[in-house]
Structure 1
């Protein structure tokens, strides 16, 4: 009986799938451009990861495919060269310094701002404030870097002149060239540019909080702080956990454009991160195998961090990312 029932179940599932495909055919048609984009720009380039295991040179063949075929296999020697190289420890330290600082200071900023915006009762003022804090997200990082250089310039920078007035000319910090202040500058830029836009997800989560919970808390005599701590934060805890998992997964990804624009000869010792290292080795020096190995290492670490953070979240009773 079970053998006779099995084909019928399969055919029923196939029929259900076909019915769902037909019922939602326009939705599937709409995702075709996105699927094609992902295949072309995300999955097909993954074939180039073979360079991490080759002594690759584009001159080993008449075509790019020929270069892949005729480049000698190097095994794990490229990774050994990468891990034992003189730059690995410095690049890893610089990357983790910026990522951990972003995790400690930048990650909570949208949550705090969303909680503050949620407490505003004046609708017109709230919408105006939201619009104002969203604007920096749409400013190009090139413009942000130019504004930073202009404000903190030691010759005519407005903020630098304020610092001179506070600390004196001999003790005023040089934000642009002091290596000790580079991480603070990068985190400050990120917070100014992305904090407002990052509140969108948390404000959406806050909109789903049951109003009756606040009303019941008021009857019990709870003040605003107590309602925020015992109702609002627990209600968006799952959203915070998911965003934290995603943030932990990008711990080795500090963003190439921002670091490259703010990098100079004075702060290069603390500003060389994996993104700039890959660019320098791969594009500038033409060492494609080493750059690919570094990129693959970043991806593997990101995957491990996401899986580990998700597992840890489930251990503490959260739903996790999947």
Structure 2
């Protein structure tokens, strides 16, 4: 490539540069969008990766950002402590089981909702359901935990108060403290938070299907 560029005559080289610059100016808005996306990835995805060194240092949060670079290097000390901890097996088990349960329940849920919404012909109702379902995606997990405490707490939870008021239970149920409710609560909160967002993505994929395929499927029975 370098040999070819050097063998070009000055007039041809300048002409190509002019064409390239003209094309760049014509597509400047597209380049601006790409540049903003790259800047976003640089600031929020790559820059924080410098913090990985904290795992290999005796870092204290009281030392601030400067401590990331000035703390003592301890190598794999923290990893050895984690692997040899008596709760390591339970932590790995819970992580794998939760991931498996989310694949079973959280993955099909948005697909099912997308198929159902695709059949809705009342556009106002369809937009309302989409809006309500994808809004939880923008809620922080900290806020989700706060909502769960407000609804499910044994002391002030609205659910327990309602069940007690209706006479369905004799004492508050420990939704947030009992291991028996942990799996269902963790999976259902993940489904509630992310189902609407993935539904929009699957709806976009469904809308891209050629209508002739539906007609062919009806003909084939």
Q: TM-score, normalised by structure 1?
A: 0.53
Identify if the C-alpha distance between structure 1 residues 124 and 35 changes in structure 2 by more than 3 Å, giving closer, same or farther.
closer
Matches within 5 A, 1:262-277: none
Please name the residue that 1:89 is paired with. 89
Task: Kindly indicate whether structure 1 or structure 2 has the higher relative contact order, using CA contacts under 8 Å at least 6 residues apart.
Answer: 1
Matches within 5 A, 1:34-113: 34-56=37-59, 64=66, 68=69, 71-113=71-113
Alignment check: 8 A CA contact 2:151 2:159 kept: yes
Aligned length: 214
Alignment check: 8 A CA contact 2:175 2:181 kept: yes
Find the structure with the greater CA-based Rg. Answer: 2
**What secondary structure does 2:74 align onto?**
coil
CA–CA separation in structure 1 for the residues paired with 2:156 and 2:101: 29
Please name the residue that 2:209 is paired with. 209
Shift of residue 155 of structure 1? 4.9
Alignment check: 8 A CA contact 1:163 1:173 kept: no
**What secondary structure does 2:183 align onto?**
helix
Shift of residue 72 of structure 1? 4.2
Is 2:122 aligned against 1:122?
Answer: yes
Alignment check: 8 A CA contact 1:133 1:197 kept: yes
Alignment check: 8 A CA contact 2:57 2:73 kept: yes
- Unaligned segments of structure 2, at least 5 residues: none
Matches within 5 A, 1:126-165: 126-139=126-139, 141=141, 143-155=143-155, 157-160=157-160, 161-162=162-163
Alignment check: 8 A CA contact 2:153 2:176 kept: yes
Deviations 1:131-190 (A, max 9, x none): 3333444555555434433333445645334489686537x8532221121121122122
Deviates more, 1:21-30 or 1:159-168: 159-168
CA–CA separation in structure 1 for the residues paired with 2:122 and 2:47: 51
Deviations 1:171-213 (A, max 9, x none): x853222112112112212222331232110000111111112
Deviations 1:273-293 (A, max 9, x none): xxxxxxxxxxxxxxxxxxxxx
CA–CA separation in structure 2 for the residues paired with 1:42 and 1:192: 26
Alignment check: 8 A CA contact 2:163 2:169 kept: no
Deviates more, 1:207-216 or 1:81-90: 81-90
Shift of residue 79 of structure 1? 2.5
Is 2:188 aligned against 1:177?
Answer: no
Shift of residue 31 of structure 1? 4.1
Identify if the C-alpha distance between structure 1 residues 85 and 196 changes in structure 2 by more than 3 Å, giving closer, same or farther.
same
Please name the residue that 2:32 is paired with. 29
Alignment check: 8 A CA contact 1:56 1:68 kept: no
Shift of residue 106 of structure 1? 1.0
